[in-house]
């Protein structure tokens, strides 16, 4: 996909290869289509293409096909409800239009992402967590799965959260995906917590054959609660998704996180190798974080400038 976005040369990009050579050229805007032809994640296609098209010569429209709610990747709801509002703090906006949802193993989903290029990215400072003010989400079924499954996932998640957070109304909507907007069968849940300073955290889970609905709901709830305990301003999955933008931004960015994930360490390693920003990861010195495993990731971005604008 990236090769096509910039008329580049790509060698060795086949199954079994241990080495690739990629030579980029000028990044083009316009309409691009990328199809995983499986339940491969459209969100990962979006993740990899977004930093590129921000520095294109003209606006882009990306038609991404594959899985929208798939394992081992953000669900499209996470991308829309958590990633989008936070990443837009870097000073750009994008539009994500979900045409069809697709699930494992068939895929068949499609989203259209539209965005305009920027001259530069602004640095971000996400170090003040505030307190949790809202918890909401959606529990969905698609295809042949009965609506009761959505209701059971939602109810189990709410019960699990109530044990730990008693003073907030937890609003998880059960949803039956419309037949014409979902391909194949699937079920899952995403729960978002929002704080007084605008931080967003999520827990999510997908149903699998033979796993009862309650278990799916509880897994998502426990993931959310774990992400609220560490005192960071981003959850464990947003952490690494912000690294590339921090590296490219014009100035010093800071985010407060829980334990730094291997994904984040990897993203920092490659960003430093390729673009030469300077990252510093240190234990948070705030008093309220003293007993917690909380870190500050600081980055002196390279101030990448769009040569086309």
Is 237 one of the annotated binding-site residues? yes
The catalytic site residues sit at: 263
Please give the Cα distance from 43 to 179 (Å, whole number).
22
| Two structure tokens written together for 83 | 């990633």
CB atoms within 10 A of CB 186: 26
Ranges of beta strands (E only) in 116-178 are 125-126, 132-142, 170-176
Please give the Cα distance from 79 to 44 (Å, whole number).
10
Is 241 one of the annotated binding-site residues? yes
**Residue 83 contacts residue 13 (beta carbons within 8 Å):** no
Please give the Cα distance from 198 to 212 (Å, whole number).
33
The burial class, CB within 10 Å (0-12 / 13-18 / 19+), for 80 is: middle
Annotated binding-site residues read 47, 237-241
Annotated binding-site residues for ATP read 47, 237-241
């Amino acid at each position: 996909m990236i090769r096509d976005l910039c008329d580049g040369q790509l060698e060795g990009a086949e199954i079994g290869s241990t080495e690739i050579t990629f030579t980029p050229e000028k990044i083009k805007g316009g309409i691009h289509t990328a199809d995983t032809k499986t339940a491969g994640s459209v969100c990962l296609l979006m993740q990899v293409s977004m930093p590129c098209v921000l520095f294109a010569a003209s606006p882009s429209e990306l038609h991404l096909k594959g899985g929208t709610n798939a394992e081992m990747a953000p669900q499209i709801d996470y991308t829309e409800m958590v990633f989008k509002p936070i990443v837009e703090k870097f000073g750009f906006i994008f539009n994500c239009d979900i045409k069809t949802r697709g699930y494992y193993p068939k895929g068949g989903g499609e989203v259209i992402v539209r965005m305009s290029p920027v001259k530069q990215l602004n640095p971000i400072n996400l170090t003040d967590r505030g307190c949790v003010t809202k918890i909401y989400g959606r529990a969905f079924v698609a295809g042949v799965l009965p609506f009761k499954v959505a209701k059971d996932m939602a109810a189990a998640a709410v019960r699990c959260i109530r044990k730990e957070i008693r003073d907030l109304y937890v609003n998880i909507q059960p949803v039956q995906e419309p037949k014409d907007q979902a391909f194949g069968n699937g079920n899952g849940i995403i729960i978002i917590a929002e704080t007084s300073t605008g931080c967003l955290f999520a827990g999510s889970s997908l149903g699998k054959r033979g796993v009862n609905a309650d278990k799916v709901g509880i897994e998502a709830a426990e993931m959310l609660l774990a992400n609220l305990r560490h005192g960071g301003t981003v959850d464990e999955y947003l952490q690494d998704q912000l690294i590339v933008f921090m590296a490219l931004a014009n100035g010093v960015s800071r985010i407060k996180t829980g334990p730094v994930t291997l994904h984040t360490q990897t993203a920092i390693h490659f960003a430093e190798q390729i673009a030469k920003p300077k990252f510093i990861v240190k234990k948070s010195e705030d008093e309220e974080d003293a007993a917690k495993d909380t870190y500050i990731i600081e980055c002196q971005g390279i101030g990448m400038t769009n040569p086309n604008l």
